[in-house]
Structure 1
């Protein structure tokens, strides 16, 4: 079973752990199919052939294997500098918890910090004896720094983008654990009022990678499509000569916003009909891991 998708077995528990009901588990599609749909959903967008689907799976698995294994987390604003435990799923389907309330737990079956996707680290807010490691997590605001240190002492620096409080039953599983082409790290702890069923809220800190001391496995700079021209209502461009490129995305500029108009597989004709010959368009290249090139020169 692919580790990157075990988050689908989670449901919110204590400081942010999820499980699906047995009915949901029994109706879930096979992992092989789910992997392609979520890591990332390129097969549908670019109509990949079967051989390309296999290559995509291998590329995703290779990228995950080379990513950073976290051992320490540092949050300067709230004086956190502690070890990271690796936790997984318990026999009852719940996510494991750190054995030490002064340490945090990284969901090891999920995304590794620094990889594309949502890596998740959780920590206790308190214990029977007093405050725990994430007691002051709710003091973080956008712009604050989170540092992850790997086994070799290399650091990944994340920056807080937002914080949210959710009622236990309404926490968005896909937003916290789901697939994304960004390199996110989400921190979770308990919040709200404590009752017989535990805390009634979950506090989530969303962060995004801003700096890394080492090259990451899928740091790729793709060539930019060239010779992008608009001839009447037909947009044309030249292919990028790279076997890893599986397709192209076409964007239209509407009221200053770049709107994804269409996607074209690499084996198809590099030409599409566009809705407005007076509009501005540009094209990007996409590889098997979902990396996207910089935009081409815009049409005039």
Structure 2
């Protein structure tokens, strides 16, 4: 990891906003240049195998992976990759305060100051530091106001614990961060080691000015910092079979059931037994996008159960046995 040592009387990094400055004092910042590779996935049939979201081989089944299912698996894989390596941020959204802004990369100017977004309604990402999603704390900073009025982070003080911050790269890969807290600090006493740390966690910190404007100093008296943590994506349960469908019924010549509401469901298998509920054999495979029903002209002479099959080739336990009432 490349390290940048900032030397000077106070090792000062200033973030200039509309003529005002953040007096931040990091002594060591870091950078990584890795970026997530584009995930690839193909639609395959029963006899093939494909990589799962964790990179392992997974068997498939008689169900062709539908386009929507493939997309979900691809997106899950991309997010997982991004969470390990970080992304180069292009936009940031904070739905709770209606922020949707482009991100500019900023660095350290020749005078030792931290660069600023050229547009007061853009947000600056400190590019020599941590990428969103990488280990440590990525830092985004924005203007609170200008000589003409409110700027992009004017309402940043209104965000609350639990609010979401969504950062996307230019390819649309999105990482969601959850707000944990916000703190205000006197401009000369911001906890730089905490805000710019590179040693643990996957965090995102947002900075802007707050407090009374000190005309003699030409800046606000305080700095507002919003601390957020990466939301962990729920991985598909590769080693846990899906649940069986419920409400399996036989009405006339139709066997019906309710869909299982999980993203990785590929389809269902219908099994038929004798009237005593024994000697079951599979008689049909129904895709997840088809009607949850199967027609059997001799339904009155048999019993049935249905299982769920997921995209990893895992099959559920049998449903309750159903027969014509």
TM-score (norm 2): 0.49
* 2:221 maps to 1:200: yes
Runs of 4+ in 1 over 2 A off after TM superposition: 3-20, 63-67, 211-214
1:76 aligns with 2:78: no
Distance 1:212 1:101, change over 3 A: farther
Q: Equivalents in 1 of 2:234, 2:106: separation in Å?
A: 25
Cα distance in structure 1, aligned partners of 2:192 and 2:99: 26
In 2, are the aligned partners of 1:17 and 1:95 still within 8 Å (CA)? no
Aligned residue for 1:138, secondary structure, equals helix
In 1, Cα distance between equivalents of 2:158 and 2:172:
27
Q: Is 1:209 paired with 2:230?
A: yes
Q: CA offsets, 1:61-120, max 9 Å, x none?
A: xx9995310000000011000100000001110100111000000000000000010100
> Structure 2 CA distance, aligned partners of 1:18 and 1:82?
23
2:180–2:228 contact (8 Å) kept in structure 1: yes
What residue is the counterpart of 2:131 in the other structure? 112
Spell out, residue by residue over 1:16-75, the C-alpha distance to the aligned partner (whole angstroms, 9 max, x if none).
45357xxxx8xx9xx9xx99xxxxxxxxxxxxxxxxxxxxxxxxxxx9995310000000
Q: 1:147/1:15 Cα in 2 relative to 1: closer, same or farther (>3 Å)? A: farther
Shift of 1:131: 0.1
Mind listing any 5+ residue stretches in structure 1 that lack a counterpart? 36-62, 215-300
Shift of 1:181: 1.4
CA contact (8 A) 1:17 1:94 kept: no
Return the structure number with greater helix share: 1
Q: 1:4·1:111 contact (CA, 8 Å) conserved in 2?
A: no
What residue number does 2:24 align with? 18
Contact 1:106 1:121 in 2 (8 A): yes
Q: 1:124 to 1:183 in 2, by over 3 A?
A: same
Q: What is the CA distance between 1:170 and its match in structure 2?
A: 1.0
Alignment pair present for 1:132 and 2:151: yes
Equivalent residues of 2:139, 2:196 under 8 A apart: yes
Partner Cα separation in structure 2 for residue 194 and residue 161 of structure 1: 27
Gaps of 5+ in 2: 32-81, 236-325
How does the TM-score come out when normalised to structure 1? Answer: 0.53
RMSD of equivalent CA atoms: 3.2
Matches within 5 A, 1:161-200: 161-195=180-214, 196-197=216-217, 198-200=219-221
Structure 2 counterparts to residues 245-260 of structure 1, below 5 A: none
Task: Indicate the residue corresponding to 1:252 in structure 2.
Answer: none
Are the structure 2 counterparts of residues 107 and 151 from structure 1 closer, same or farther at C-alpha, using a change threshold of 3 Å?
same
Residue 137 to residue 19, structure 1, CA distance change in 2 (3 Å): same
Task: For 1:11-50, list aligned pairs within 5 A.
Answer: 11-13=13-15, 14=20, 16=22, 18-19=24-25
Distance 2:150 2:137 in 1: 27
> Which structure is larger by alpha-carbon Rg, 1 or 2?
2
Aligned length: 177
Mapped partners of 2:88, 2:199: distance in 1: 19
1:4 CA drift (Å):
6.9
2:119 corresponds to which of 92, 100, 107: 100
CA–CA separation in structure 1 for the residues paired with 2:5 and 2:203: 16
Cα distance change, pair 194–128 in 1 and its aligned pair in 2 (3 A): same
Deviation at 1:2, TM superposition (A): 1.6
SS of the residue aligned with 1:120? strand
